[in-house]
Amino acid sequence: MSEEKSVSFEAKIEHAKQILQKLMDPEITLAESVKAYEDGIKELNEATKLLEEAKLKINEIKC
């Protein structure tokens, strides 16, 4: 299993929250904002994927 997959859903959400805090800093540059936004979207997309995988597993168990 890849390193990316081993990070928990909760850790990805927490990291996205940290990125959001960084984006709220009035001192952040435009370049830093764009990079942080990209990183935040990546974390949220990966968290969504983990959530979808969990939903599939639950549905398999139910059937």
pLDDT in tens, 6-61: 789 999 999 999 999 999 999 999 999 999 999 999 999 999 999 999 999 999 99
To 10 degrees, the CA torsion angle through 19, 20, 24, 27?
Answer: 10
pLDDT score at 1 = 39
Q: Which alpha helices (H) appear in 1-63, and where do they start and end?
A: 3-6, 9-23, 30-62
Total Cβ atoms within 10 A of residue 39:
16
CA atoms of 24 and 40, how far apart (whole Å): 13
Tokens of residue 36, six digits: 């942080």
Confidence of residue 2 (pLDDT cuts 50, 70, 90): very low
Instruction: Tell me the whole-structure pTM to 2 decimals.
Output: 0.80
